[in-house]
Amino acid sequence: MVLHKTKGIVLRAVKYGETSLIVSIYTEIFGIQSYIINGVRKASKKGSGKANLFQPASILDLVVYHNELRQLNRVREFRWAYLYQHILFDVRKNAVALFMIELLQKCLKQPEPNDSLFYFVEDAFIHLDNAPDNVVANYPLFFALHLMVFVGIRIDDNYNEDHEVLDMMEGAFQPEVPEHPYYLEGQAAYITSQLLKVMQPAELSQLHLNQSMRRRLLQAYQEFYALHIAEFGVMKSLPVLQEVLS
């Protein structure tokens, strides 16, 4: 099999046997892939600490074997591509990162490469790692809204004084409340429009939202994903995130 160099973002790691891991990684050149990593849980000098590299959200440089006919491939080499300063230790940032990871897992069903999505996600984690406190609380809203575009769903920012109701079935702002219950109006619709305009995470510090509004919007955006992505379900990380950010 041919060896390939690729960056990867760890989504999930499960213990396998006595010393190994099976990991799900979103790779730059192959999309979402599963790998077996042998020997990284050994209590030896060679294995010591290596399992730490496969925590969710880790960004790695990888050398991998790739065979499209196999569901489980192997990793030849791995090392940090970016070493987090805060995400793995800061409770608030870690809760946001795990929310982002779960959202990605629910959206990435097929092993299709997507350069733009990979670079957006990589950039989003690095920005989160460096974000000040007044940005972190709004970060899940920003990520959830901007990820939509890369996974083939979106909300058009056509908000104005004649279109003040966000119809979540249509993914656009409408003049009137729809007949179904999936919509946002008033301040929630306005803030969604403002969040859609944010291009750099640092701008999130200018949006002063209270806890109840953040909760309402996160629930609404989860609903939007569930309406537009088959078998999306409910996010397990959301109650934890809301508790940590309260």
Write the single-letter amino acid at 13.
A
CATH 1.20.1440.120 residue ranges for the chain:
85-246
CATH 2.40.50.140 residue ranges for the chain:
1-83
Q: What is the pLDDT of residue 110?
A: 84
Q: Return d(Cα 180, Cα 84) in angstroms, integer.
A: 44
Residue 17 — pLDDT band, cuts 50, 70, 90?
A: confident
pLDDT mean over 56-71: 93
Residue 2 — pLDDT band, cuts 50, 70, 90?
A: confident
Q: What is the pLDDT of residue 221?
A: 97
Examine the pLDDT at 74 and tell me if it is beyond 70: yes
Residue-wise pLDDT tens digits, 195-227: 999 999 999 999 999 999 999 999 999 999 999
Residues paired with residue 80 on neighbouring β-strands, in sequence order: 60
Q: What is the pLDDT of residue 103?
A: 98
Q: What is the pLDDT of residue 200?
A: 93
Q: What is the pLDDT of residue 157?
A: 96
Q: What is the pLDDT of residue 204?
A: 96
Examine the pLDDT at 48 and tell me if it is beyond 60: no
Mean pLDDT check: name the lowest of 3-12, 61-70, 84-93, 131-140. 61-70
The per-residue DSSP string of 178-224 comes to -SSS-EE-HHHHHHHHHHHH--SGGGGGG----HHHHHHHHHHHHHH
Q: Return d(Cα 194, Cα 213) in angstroms, integer.
A: 14
Q: Is the Cβ–Cβ distance between 116 and 150 less than 8 Å?
A: yes
Residue 243 — pLDDT band, cuts 50, 70, 90?
A: very high
Q: Return d(Cα 134, Cα 50) in angstroms, integer.
A: 33
Q: What is the pLDDT of residue 167?
A: 98
Residues paired with residue 8 on neighbouring β-strands, in sequence order: 27, 60
pLDDT mean over 114-125: 96
Question: Quick one: what percent of the chain has pLDDT higher than 90?
Answer: 87
Q: Among all chains, which residue has been given the structure tokens 């350069």?
A: 115
Regarding pTM above 0.85, the answer is: yes
- What's the distance, CA 151 to chain centroid? 11
Q: Is the Cβ–Cβ distance between 159 and 116 less than 8 Å?
A: no
Q: Return d(Cα 128, Cα 130) in angstroms, integer.
A: 5
Q: What is the pLDDT of residue 44?
A: 60
CATH 1.20.1440.120 fits 85-246, yes or no: yes
Tell which residue, 123, 137, 56, has the closest CA to residue 92.
Answer: 137
- The better pLDDT of the pair 111, 32 is held by 32
| Assigned CATH for 1-83 | 2.40.50.140
Q: Return d(Cα 49, Cα 80) in angstroms, integer.
A: 13
Mean pLDDT check: name the lowest of 47-56, 119-128, 194-203. 47-56
Q: What is the pLDDT of residue 43?
A: 67
pLDDT mean over 187-197: 97
